[in-house]
Amino acid sequence: MKKPYTSFLFLFLSATVSAQIPQSNHVVVVLEENHSYSGVIGNSSMPYLNSLAVQNALGTQYFANTHPSIGNYFMMTAGQIITNDDAFMNTVTADNMVRRLLTAGKTWKSYAEGLPSVGYTGGDVFPYDRHHNPFSYFSDVVNSSTQVLNLLPFSQFTADLNNNQLPNFSFVVPSIQNDGHDCPAGLSSCSDAQKLAAADIWLQNHIAPLLNNAAFQQDGLLVIVFDEGFANDGAFGGGQVAIVMAGPHVKKGFQSSGLYQHENLLRTVLDSLGVNTYPGQAVFAVDMADMFSANPTPTPTPSPTPTGGCSAQGIGVTICSPSGGNSQSSPVHFTAAAHSSNPISAMRIYVDNSSVYTIQGANLDTSLPISSGAHNVVVQAWDSTGAVFKSSLSLTVGNGTPPGCSPANPGVTVCSPTGTNSATSPLHVVASAKSLLAPITAMRIYVDGVSQFLTFTNSLDTSLGLSSGSHLLVVQAWDATGAVFKSSQQISIQ
């Protein structure tokens, strides 16, 4: 599929007009597989990735270059598609990231989950797919006894992170069981929700420690991007995909409308590392500069919200809300706690046997969009020994707004909190929205100008952990025409 000439001009402007990208010593790019933007952003199967997207920078007009996968991997590392044959096994001599990084004196490593051994350059060994690991093709790597040792199993990433030995550039490739491509381990067949849930759990387990790392918090840049969209999504060659950036120099609670593709990411990564020469189409691509801020700010990381008095009643899982049998409105507010004689390592919510939310620790407090009808809900927990605890309930979800909170007029109605009353943390926020023009498509909560919660429904019911002091609370909504509605108030947290 050829791109329109106008798009070519937009995407590949002269390098002389590129904006300055803040410098980083540690850039980590994580690849996910085969899902379009519409299937990921707002999907309850990926709560961790969506929380990162809400709190950091999300590209809303980012497009892959081609179908199938391999051409996209080459575009983001060599600036050209090279091939569209996923079975390709040749050595690539074209200019590429490794050549540019080494010339600039920068270090790199590719961390591929399931890689059979250090320096492996052979074909697929389930669940490792070679065509997801572009560095294994480059002549600069396969013909060098030194550089080939930078092809590493993913287990080395955790060790390097813990020992402060991450290179300047890290390319992270989850296995096809953990990147949204195939069913998770142990399942021969599965739903798309289960694929995404497994990918999200993998991200939470491995990316949260990176974001909390002291060296990363100084000058790190994390990029999570999907290689291509759904097979039937051919927009700009490879479909619209999600890209999320996080780091101290990345804007917080920001959505970029810039039209970008993988060559723009390649140039942005190289510029962030101070490598001012580029392979392939990256020479002509513009930086994704709108997603960065000149003033560094701490990177927010999703963390458990206090459960507002929900504590485990003995060994096992205690569900405090919702109560079984009662009719609820979507999103449904869940609070639960778990206890064992050993530390609780994680908790997970299943709705009708599909995983919809996972969090580390012994408490959860979240609101999830649930379809109308009767559902079976299971909240499960694991402790450090692998012991499993669970509690279940039957749930009926109806249409409409949170109980007692109906928008009287077009706009946003905030039912809780009210006025300038003093409140305590976690702050319970209940709101709904109405438009006469078109259906409400999304609602978002901002606290002091920072996005804290996003839902793709016409109502919300959630709790936010806030620090003591005065805060500006803004609840905003959008309808299908793009019209914006909002309500704001000052809240004092005691």
Q: What are the tens digits of pLDDT across the range 290-299? A: 999 877 766 6
Based on the fold, state whether residues 381 and 435 are members of the same structural domain. no
User: What value does the mean pLDDT of the chain take?
Assistant: 85
Contact partners, residue 257, CB within 8 Å, separation at least 6: 60, 61
pLDDT at 481 over 90: no
Look up the domain containing 257 and give its range: 16-291
The predicted pLDDT at position 120 comes to: 97
Q: Is residue 160 part of a domain?
A: yes
Confirm whether 372 is domain-assigned.
yes
* pLDDT at res. 299: 61
Q: Are residues 231 and 339 in the same domain?
A: no
Query: Picking from 96-100, 282-286, 450-454, which range would have the lowest pLDDT averaged per residue?
Result: 450-454
- Are residues 462 and 392 located together in one domain of the fold? no
| Least confident span in 152-156, 283-287, 410-414, 458-462 | 458-462
Residue where one domain finishes, among candidates 363, 398, 433: 398
- Residue 5 pLDDT more than 50? no
Same domain (yes/no): 235, 109: yes
Q: How do residues 157-207 score in pLDDT, each as one tens digit?
A: 999 998 999 999 999 999 999 999 999 887 888 889 889 999 998 998 898
* Position 485 confidence tier, pLDDT thresholds 50, 70, 90: confident
C-alpha 129: how far from its chain's center?
22
pLDDT over 50 (residue 343): yes
Residues 78 and 206 in one domain: yes
Same domain, residue pair 269 and 338: no
User: Is 308 a member of any domain?
Assistant: no
- The reply to whether 374 and 415 lie within a common domain is no
Decide if 307 is inside a domain. Answer: no
427-450: pLDDT as tens digits: 888 888 888 877 777 777 888 877
Q: Is residue 114 part of a domain?
A: yes
Residue 5: inside a domain: no
Q: Which of 106-115, 218-227, 255-264, 321-330 has the lowest mean pLDDT?
A: 321-330
Residue-wise pLDDT tens digits, 84-95: 999 999 999 999
Q: Count of domains in the chain?
A: 3
Q: Please check whether residue 404 lies inside any domain of the structure.
A: no
Give the mean model confidence (pLDDT) for residues 392-417.
74
Would you say how long the chain is, in residues? Answer: 494
For helices 47-55 and 192-211, the axis angle rounded to 10 degrees is 50
Residue 1: its pLDDT value, please? 40
Boundary residue ending a domain (375, 398, 421): 398
* pLDDT of 9 above 50: no
Give the pLDDT of residue 2: 40
Q: What is the mean pLDDT of residues 3-11?
A: 40
Question: Minimum mean pLDDT among 306-315, 400-409, 456-465: which range?
Answer: 400-409
How much is the pLDDT for 3?
Answer: 43
pLDDT tens digits, residue range 217-231? Answer: 999 999 999 999 999
Same domain, 108 and 235: yes
Q: What is the dihedral of CA 156, 276, 273, 144, to 10 degrees?
A: 20
Query: Given this model, what pLDDT does residue 316 score?
Result: 87
Whether residues 251 and 217 share a domain: the answer is yes
State the average pLDDT over residues 325-331. 64
Same domain, 428 and 362: no
Residues 250 and 149 in one domain: yes
CB 221 within 8 A of CB 232: no
Span of 78-82, 464-468, 488-492 with lowest mean pLDDT: 464-468
- Identify the band that residue 247 occupies on the pLDDT scale cut at 50, 70 and 90: very high
CATH of the domain at 488: 2.60.40.10
**Within this chain, do residues 188 and 102 fall inside the same structural domain, yes or no?**
yes
Last residue of a domain, one of 233, 257, 291: 291
Can you give the CATH number for the domain in which 187 is found? 3.40.720.10
Residue 403 lies in a domain: no
- Alpha-carbon distance values, 415 to 137, 164, 432, 461 (Å): 58, 47, 8, 10
- pTM, two decimal places: 0.61
- pLDDT given at position 348: 84
pLDDT of residue 18: 41
Give the model's pLDDT for residue 305.
37
Question: How large a percentage of the chain has pLDDT more than 70?
Answer: 87
Q: What is the pLDDT of residue 324?
A: 63
- What confidence score (pLDDT) does residue 329 get? 66
